[in-house]
Amino acid sequence: MYKGSFVHRLTKILVDIMFHCGIVCCVAVPFAMPAMARYFGYSESLNLPFTVILFASGICALYILWQLKAMFKTLLGGNPFIGANVSCLRKCAVASFLIAIIFAVKSFFWFSVMTTAAVVIFALLGLFCLTLKDIFKQAIAYKEENDWTV
C-alpha cells in the first residue's frame, strides 16, 4: 500500500547524519570551549557555564533526533499512525521546551538576540510537536475505527 519516496529516504539519511554529527559536536564541546572562548574574546570564567549550556541543549537536540529516527522507521515501514509516534512527538515537545528554558535562563545572564531567537524557535517547535501529536492521536482513532468497520 505505501511506497517509500525518495524524499522520505533522503530525509531519513539527513536525520541520521545530523544525529551522528551531533554526537561528535556534544563530545567536542568541552574540548573546543577554551579555544572558542579565546577566539570570541570571552573570559575563561565563562567556559564552564557555556559548556554546560551547550552540552545540555545538545543532549536535548540529540534526543529529538533520536525520536525522529524512531518515527522514520515507522514511516518507512508503512504504518506511521501508531501510538509510539504520538509518544515520540510528546517527547520531542518536552525536549524542545527544555532547550527553550535553557536558553531563556541563559538570556538572563548573557543576553543576545540569537539567544532570544533560539527561545522563540524552540518554544514554537514544542508547540508544533504538541499539535502534531494531537493530530496523530486523532488519525489513529480514525484509523482504528475504520479498521473495525471493515
> pLDDT at position 88, please?
97
Q: Is 110 left (phi over 0), alpha (psi -120 to 50) or beta?
A: beta
What count of other Cβ atoms lies within 10 Å of the Cβ of residue 77?
11
> Which amino acid is located at 45 in the chain?
S
What CA–CA distance (Å, rounded) separates 79 from 77?
6
Mention every residue, 6+ apart, whose C-beta is less than 8 A from residue 7. none
What CA–CA distance (Å, rounded) separates 42 from 34?
9
In tens, the pLDDT along 85-101 reads: 999 999 999 999 999 99
In tens, the pLDDT along 5-23 reads: 888 889 999 999 999 999 9
Rg of the Cα atoms in the chain: 19
Record the pTM.
Answer: 0.90
In tens, the pLDDT along 67-79 reads: 999 999 998 888 8
What's the mean pLDDT in 119-127?
Answer: 98
